[in-house]
Amino acid sequence: MSSTTNSPTHHTSTIGAIGAPSRRNTELALLVFAVLIPVFAYANVGLAIDDQVPSGLLSYGLGIGLLAGVAHLVVRKFAPYADPLLLPLATLLNGLGLVCIWRLDQSKALQQIHVAGGKATNQLMYTAMGIALFVAVLYFLKDHRTLQRYTYISMVCALILLLLPLVPGLGTNVFGAKIWIHVGSFSIQPGEFAKIVLTIFFAGYLMVKRDALALASRRVMGLYLPRGRDLGPILVVWAMSILILVFETDLGTSLLFFGMFVIMLYVATERTSWIVFGLLMSAVGAVGVASFEPHIQTRVQAWLNPMREYKLSRMVTHDGIAHSDQLQQALWAFGSGGTLGTGWGQGHSELIKFAANSDFILATFGEELGLAGLMAILLIYGLIAERGVRTALAARDPFGKLLAIGLSGAFALQVFVVAGGVMGLIPLTGMTMPFLAYGGSSVIANWALIGVLIRISDTARRPAPAPAANPDAEMTQVVRPS
């Protein structure tokens, strides 16, 4: 018998990185369309109103294009494997919002009541600040899992942000809701930032407590409930949302926070009973507060009978209640838009008055772009939420999964709450449509939200590193009989 020694084959040294491609070129191509569509809409508005291309078309196109280009380069550098759709979708919504705000700026009626005029320029500045925060998130947040260290610090920060509007001399009452603070000539809505910080706390808390919350200890009226000490934090969050509703008369933020927590709780524990329990608690709290809070009662009445509020707003009443015709005007705007809309710049959104470019901006889209355009807008929102959920499914760590689903759920819930209020599906909440509505706090906070989602998706989609070569493989010989 003789032996023959063959050259060894090193399979471990030829294994490359396994995973998805970068997709940055796909993102760049989509960004081009996300910039061109608002530029085309901007020209369309100018032609409809003044029969000429607006003089600021070039500066607007360069401004939004430059901001989108900077955001893309930062993603290409610091998050090369991130989801390629999130940035173009957010850019498209932001661009269309700028166009609509500029269109309302041209309204003489809105200029007379100081609602319009220069708002588009301010919004472009807020967008630049939002992109700057987006860049800061991707630059400084190298790994989303570092946020887990600040679980309880996040809870404290969120509570401080929510309580700031109640500080005398700092907070201010705007149209019945105490959700704003004024610093010099600037006004900020802390609740927009609190939703991100609170999501970090919820994700960190539920990651640790999910097993205890999933283990039912008793059955009450067909619902499986955990132990009292594990149920305590849920009751605290419920009480906190009710306190926000009572002291700040802010139905939207209260609904958003509690709904976001119930969504994350359901995902963490996989128990349907939490959905039912959460809905019951929110309904009890809302009905209880609405029974004695006049501002909430007014909004409920406007929701139940908008035509009555419209008539009362045109009469001299002595009931001490400020009646509003906005919801009825918004419903008429949706109706007059029909299927294809009246066309950019050819609607009558000025009839909605002071909230035309903020709370009710969706009515302008519904009137001028019609049902088809409105469904396209809602589809873009749905795609952002879907990409966030897909990121949560792809995340490799439980904290990342819960954080991504919490941010996506908060985003989708805010869209539902605002759209439902403007369309008469639920009572008005006073929140703003993400990226579309006028307001610096909303735009800046939502760009930060997109930045965190992009960071999580980059970590989730990043290819697995190639296994290290085994030194012992170099000495391995295969011996075969002759």
Question: For 238-247, 352-361, 458-467, which range has the lowest pLDDT when averaged over its residues?
Answer: 238-247
Round to whole Å and give the CA distance between 187 and 177. Answer: 14
How does pLDDT run across 173-210, given as a tens digit for each residue?
A: 665 566 667 666 677 888 888 889 989 988 998 888 77
pLDDT at 135 over 90: yes
pLDDT at 19 over 70: no
pLDDT at 7 over 60: no
DSSP secondary structure of 99-146:
HHHHHHHT-HHHHHTTSSSSHHHHHHHHHHHHHHHHHHHHHH-S-GGG
pLDDT at 13: 37
DSSP annotation of 6 reads P
Question: For 52-61, 229-238, 345-354, 372-381, which range has the lowest pLDDT when averaged over its residues?
Answer: 229-238
- Residues 51-63, mean pLDDT to the nearest whole number: 89
- Residues 461-482, mean pLDDT to the nearest whole number: 60
pLDDT at 144: 92
Q: At 469, is the pLDDT very low, low, confident or very high (cuts 50, 70, 90)?
A: low
Three-state DSSP at 436 gives: coil
- Residues 86-102, mean pLDDT to the nearest whole number: 96
- Residues 351-361, mean pLDDT to the nearest whole number: 84
Distances (CA, A) of 363 to 318, 350, 374: 30, 11, 9
* Residue of higher predicted confidence among 5 and 277: 277
pLDDT at 176: 56
Round to whole Å and give the CA distance between 395 and 459. Answer: 7
Q: At 231, is the pLDDT very low, low, confident or very high (cuts 50, 70, 90)?
A: low
Find the angle CA(85)-CA(422)-CA(363) to the nearest 5 degrees: 75
pLDDT at 375: 96
How does pLDDT run across 300-331, given as a tens digit for each residue?
A: 888 888 888 878 777 766 565 667 788 888 89
pLDDT at 459: 92
pLDDT at 212: 73
Closest alpha carbon to 226 in 237, 212, 239, 238: 212
pLDDT at 110: 83
pLDDT at 10: 42
Distances (CA, A) of 274 to 235, 237, 412: 12, 14, 19
pLDDT at 251: 73
pLDDT at 5: 44
pLDDT at 23: 86
pLDDT at 39 over 90: yes
pLDDT at 79 over 90: yes
pLDDT at 248: 66
Q: pLDDT exceeding 90 applies to what percent of the chain?
A: 41
Q: pLDDT exceeding 70 applies to what percent of the chain?
A: 80
How does pLDDT run across 363-421, given as a tens digit for each residue?
A: 999 999 999 999 999 999 999 999 999 999 999 899 999 999 999 999 999 999 999 99
- Residues 284-296, mean pLDDT to the nearest whole number: 73
- If you count them, how many residues does the chain have? 482
288 Cβ contact list (under 8 Å, min separation 6):
242
Q: At 11, is the pLDDT very low, low, confident or very high (cuts 50, 70, 90)?
A: very low
How does pLDDT run across 409-449, given as a tens digit for each residue?
A: 999 999 999 999 999 888 887 788 999 999 888 999 999 99
- What the block records as the tokens of 168 is 């005398």
Residue 434: CB atoms within 10 A of its CB come to: 26
Round to whole Å and give the CA distance between 383 and 418. Answer: 17
Q: At 2, is the pLDDT very low, low, confident or very high (cuts 50, 70, 90)?
A: very low
pLDDT at 63 over 50: yes
Supply the mean pLDDT for the chain.
82
